[in-house]
Copies of this chain bind each other. A is one copy, B any other.
Amino acid sequence: MSRPQPHKRATVHDIAAAAGMSRGTVSRVLNGGYVSAEARAAIETAMSDLGYVPNNAARALKMRRSQAVAFVALEPHSLFLDDPNIGSIMLGANAALSLADHQMVSLVVESARDTERVARYLSGGFVDGAIVVSARTKDPIIRVISDLSLPAAFVGHPPDLDQNIPFVGIDNVGSARAITEHLATGGRRRIGMIAAALDRDSGIDRLAGFRAALGPLFDADLVADVPHYDYGSGVKGMRDLLERDPSIDGVFAASDAIAAGALEALRDAGRSVPGDVGVVGFDDSTWAVRCQPQLTTVHQPAKEIGSCAAQLILRQLRGEHPDPGGQLLPTPLVLRDSA
Listed in ascending order, the chain A residues whose CB lies under 8 Å from chain B are 3-7, 51, 53-61, 63-66, 68, 70, 76-77, 80-82, 84, 87-88, 90-91, 94-95, 98, 101, 103-108, 110-111, 113-114, 117-118, 120-121, 123-126, 128, 147-151, 231, 260, 264, 267, 286, 290, 292, 316-319
Given contacts A61-B57, A123-B53, A264-B292, contact A106 B105 (CB under 8 A): yes
Q: Which residue from B4, B66, B81 sits with its C-beta under 8 Å from A88?
A: B81
Q: Which residues in B have their C-beta under 8 angstroms from that of A7?
A: 148-150
Decide: A91 and B76 in contact? CB cutoff 8 A: yes
Q: Which residues in B have their C-beta under 8 angstroms from that of A126?
A: 56-57, 60, 66, 68, 126
Q: Which residue of B lies closest to A151 (CB)?
A: B6
Q: Which residues in B have their C-beta under 8 angstroms from that of A121?
A: 56, 68, 103
A132 to B28, CA, bound (A): 34
Q: Which residue of B lies closest to A61 (CB)?
A: B57
Decide: A81 and B84 in contact? CB cutoff 8 A: yes
Q: Which residue from B54, B57, B147 sits with its C-beta under 8 Å from A57?
A: B57
Q: Which residue of B lies closest to A129 (CB)?
A: B6
A121 to B55, CA, bound (A): 9
A7 to B123, CA, bound (A): 11
Given contacts A88-B81, A91-B110, A117-B98, contact A55 B318 (CB under 8 A): no
A138 to B98, CA, bound (A): 23
Q: Which residues in B have their C-beta under 8 angstroms from that of A95?
A: 110
Decide: B76 and A80 in contact? CB cutoff 8 A: no
Q: Which residues in B have their C-beta under 8 angstroms from that of A125?
A: 55-58
Q: Which residue of B lies closest to A260 (CB)?
A: B290
Q: Which residues in B have their C-beta under 8 angstroms from that of A82?
A: 84, 286
Across the A-B interface, the 7 shortest Cβ-Cβ residue pairs = A56-B124, A80-B87, A57-B125, A4-B319, A105-B105, A53-B123, A57-B60
A267 to B267, CA, bound (A): 14
Decide: B104 and A104 in contact? CB cutoff 8 A: no
Decide: B317 and A231 in contact? CB cutoff 8 A: no
Decide: B91 and A117 in contact? CB cutoff 8 A: no
Q: Which residue of B lies closest to A94 (CB)?
A: B108
A57 to B111, CA, bound (A): 24
A29 to B318, CA, bound (A): 37
Q: Which residues in B have their C-beta under 8 angstroms from that of A53?
A: 120, 123-124, 148
